[in-house]
Amino acid sequence: MTWDVLVVGGGIAGVSVAAELARDRAVLLVEAEPVLAKHTTGRSAAVYIPSYGSPVVRALTAASYPLFGDGILSPRPMLWVGSATEVAHMDSTEPVSIDDAVGMCSALRADRIEAAAVDNGTMDIDVMGLHQRYVRELRARGGEIRQGAPVTAISRDGAAWRVNLGNEEIAVGTVVNAAGPWADKVAELAGVPALGLRPLRRTIAIAVGKPVDPGWPLVSDVADTFYFRPEGPGVLVSPADETPAEPGDAKPDEVDVALAVERVNHVTTLELRSVRTAWAGLRTFAVDREPVLGALPDHPGFAFVAGQGGYGIQMGPALAVAAARIISGEPAGIDPASVSPARLR
């Protein structure tokens, strides 16, 4: 089989852009792990938040909404809490009184909240449902997926790239680097300059205390020091940490888990004590916290789809369309310079 495009990485970025490119190209996707979506994608908080992120991120998030399709999104309002000044500067939200905030989430302590606003466009995301939809689309369009297939070498050979997968060598015209926290390392394998992409650890835990109402919103601090939402009989909590980490299988730190519980207990009457489970994922950012799409001018045919940070699922569908168009040299619907890797050099 002759492939036009090799996509490196089997998370949401890789499978979505591979599915888009497979509309008119022969695409092979490779994943180093024996299973797809083992790391960041499989550890997402799974929330669609239109008011979250930079203007570029919010535009891609809004454009993704009609692309999610049936059964992927389900409504869950987001309640932002913080100082009056912080809440006043929130975009795409509607201010609510403290009484109304407590009415939405009865566990909140009114005496520890200064101001609140609601985003009624927020949704829960069926992340693995979305991921598997792209897997099916990629295969239906003739694409192939190989798991447990780490890339060991990449070299330029005239107009083609030669990629080693263990003992096998594949020649392709385009390499798409969708390797998440490993994106800079994959670039270095190819002799392409690293972009300074930074993996940051985010911790999440499920804790239990007093009974919860499954209809409560997602509650988040505007200053990004915690968020929580009902999760079965417990509460999903996070300290919204961003701890620099090396690419790898991220593990939760007990201090961060305890901090999440402490911060949520401070603003609620939940009295969380027991932690049922905890995990961590790596959210990878460029220095300006915007996504990175496309190739460096001196390295044509090696395209990045990276730097999605904490927004990779919520803006994933539109990001995949934009990335595929940029890689194909077509109008992307966004300013290519705003996401080009060249801005980071």
Task: Name the architecture of domain 5-43+127-196+287-344.
Answer: 3-Layer(bba) Sandwich (3.50)
**Residues facing 24 on adjacent strands:** none
Topology alike, domains 5-43+127-196+287-344 and 78-120+198-285: no
Element containing residue 81 per DSSP (H, E): strand 78-82
Residue stretches of the chain with pLDDT short of 50: none
CATH number of 78-120+198-285: 3.30.9.10
Cα 12 to Cα 3: distance, rounded to the nearest angstrom: 21
pLDDT recorded at residue 233 = 94
Q: How confident is the model over 284-334, as pLDDT tens digits?
A: 999 999 999 999 999 999 999 999 998 999 999 999 999 999 999 999 989
The reported pLDDT for the residue numbered 297 is 95
Instruction: Quote the pLDDT of residue 118.
Output: 95
| pLDDT reported for residue 253 | 96
| 3-state secondary structure (DSSP) of residue 106 | coil
d(CA 345, CA 292): 12
User: pLDDT at position 210, please?
Assistant: 97
Q: What is the pTM of this model?
A: 0.94
Q: What pLDDT, on the 0 to 100 scale, is given for residue 218?
A: 96
Least Cα distance to 319 among 302, 342, 344, 339 occurs for: 339
pLDDT at 144: 98
pLDDT tens, 131-180? 999 999 999 999 999 999 999 999 998 889 999 998 899 999 999 999 99
CA distance 211 to 163: 54
The predicted structure's pLDDT at residue 92 = 78
What are the structural domain ranges in the chain? 5-43+127-196+287-344, 78-120+198-285
pLDDT at 89: 87
